Amino acid sequence: MTQNNEDRVASLLQQGLESYGTGDVARAFLLWNEVLELDPGNEEALDYMRDADRRSKPRGDAGGGAVAIVEDARRLAHSENEEAALELLTSMPSGGALEAEAMVELLRARLFRRYGSELGDLSQIPRVAGDGGDLQGRNLPPSAGFLLSMVDGMTPLSDLMSVSGMDRFEALRSIHRMHEAGILEWD
């Protein structure tokens, strides 16, 4: 990651914390999600997202808390930030309200289409950008690392998704993020 990007990540993390501190959880998620676009698997951003919802939800009010989070997620999705909306919803503790889980599925379906149209033809053959030497500093999540390990310059994206054994949404999302972050490229 370039120095510029590192500074930008640090700034976004800080701005997210400030938004969270003022009670604007949705904006905080939006900013932390931007961090993940620059640095997929950034542990700090993921930790903030995991903890934020738990801390902000009043005890004994799981139903009301879930409704508020779903509304925040809707707001994010309507402002073209479906990624952040999904992160916000999936950071809820397991056993969440069915409405929230349903909203997650709605966003997954929409994002899958979006990734597909942005990535284009899935018969393209990806390769690791540059010499790959920078990968260790990227904080890649295990799923992304697993996908990368199968990138051999001969296997097309569609086959990569099939042989990964991952949920097709998760596989495409991971590929999309690595492409956005400049880790994967193709002609």
Q: Output 23 or 63, the one with its CB closest to another protein.
A: 63
Task: Scan residues 17-76 and list those touching another protein (CB under 8 A).
Answer: 74
Q: Output 35 or 88, the one with its CB closest to another protein.
A: 88
Shortest distance in whole angstroms from residue 32 CB to another protein: 21
Shortest distance in whole angstroms from residue 110 CB to another protein: 6
Give yes or no for a contact between 41 and 138, defined as CB atoms under 8 angstroms apart: yes
Task: Scan residues 97-136 and list those touching another protein (CB under 8 A).
Answer: 98-99, 101-103, 105-110, 112-113
Determine the Cα–Cα distance for residues 57 and 8; give it in Å rounded to an integer.
29
Shortest distance in whole angstroms from residue 130 CB to another protein: 32
Determine the Cα–Cα distance for residues 83 and 33; give it in Å rounded to an integer.
7
Residue 184 φ/ψ, nearest 5 degrees: -110, 145
Give yes or no for a contact between 52 and 20, defined as CB atoms under 8 angstroms apart: yes
Q: Note the maximum CA span of the chain.
A: 53
What pairing do the DSSP bridges indicate for beta strands 184-185 and 127-128? antiparallel
Shortest distance in whole angstroms from residue 102 CB to another protein: 4
Q: Which residues bind another protein (CB under 8 A)?
A: 74, 77-78, 94-95, 98-99, 101-103, 105-110, 112-113, 165-170
